[in-house]
Amino acid sequence: MIGNDVAHAARLLEQGKLVAIPTETVYGLAGNALDINAIGEIYLVKNRPIFNPLILHVPNLEIAQKYVTHFPKEALKLARQFWPGSLSILLPKSELVQDIVTAGSSHVVIRVPNHPLTLKLLNSIDFPLVAPSANISNTVSPTSADHVQNGIGNQIDYILDGGKCPIGIESTIISIENGQVQVLREGGISQEKIIKMSGLPISGSTKKSIQTPGQLKKHYATQKPLHIVESISDYLTENPTQNCSILYYEERDNHDIEHIHFLSKDYDLSEIANQLFALMRLADQDPTDCILIEPVKLEGIGRAVDDRLRRAANI
- pLDDT digits over 93-117, tens only? 999 999 999 989 999 999 999 999 9
pLDDT tier at 138 (50, 70, 90 boundaries)?
A: confident
Give the pLDDT score at 197.
85
Q: Domains along the chain? A: 2-204 (3.90.870.10), 226-312 (3.40.50.11030)
pLDDT tier at 241 (50, 70, 90 boundaries)?
A: confident
Give the pLDDT score at 275.
96
pLDDT > 90 fraction of the chain, expressed in percent and rounded: 82
Residue 214 clears pLDDT 60, i.e. is over it: no
What own/partner pairs with CB < 8 Å and gap ≥ 24 does 148-151 have? 148/20, 148/27, 149/2
**Mean per-residue pLDDT, 65-91:** 95
Give the pLDDT score at 128.
98
Residue 217 clears pLDDT 70, i.e. is over it: no
Which residues, 6+ apart, have CB-to-CB distance to 254 below 8 Å? Answer: 246, 248, 260
What is the DSSP code (8-state) at residue 66? G
Per-position b or e across 86-111, b if 16+ CB within 10 A of its CB: bbbbbbebeeebbebbbbebebbbbb
User: How far is CA 130 from its chain centroid?
Assistant: 13
Nearest residue to 162 (alpha-carbon basis) of 314, 15, 28: 28
pLDDT > 70 fraction of the chain, expressed in percent and rounded: 94
Q: Are 59 and 131 in contact (CB under 8 A)?
A: no
Nearest residue to 222 (alpha-carbon basis) of 272, 302, 296, 279: 279
Task: Share the mean pLDDT of the chain.
Answer: 92
Give the pLDDT score at 220.
80
**Mean per-residue pLDDT, 283-293:** 95
- Of the ranges 171-185, 213-227, 248-262, 264-278, which one carries the lowest mean pLDDT score? 213-227
Nearest residue to 51 (alpha-carbon basis) of 118, 105, 88: 105
Give the pLDDT score at 210.
54
CB 3: neighbour CB atoms within 10 A? 12
User: How far is CA 67 from its chain centroid?
Assistant: 22
Residue 79 clears pLDDT 90, i.e. is over it: yes
Residue 244 clears pLDDT 60, i.e. is over it: yes
pLDDT tier at 212 (50, 70, 90 boundaries)?
A: low
Residue 155 clears pLDDT 60, i.e. is over it: yes
SS3 109: strand
- pLDDT digits over 32-54, tens only? 999 999 999 999 999 988 888 99
What gap in Å lies between CA 18 and CA 279, rounded to an integer? 27
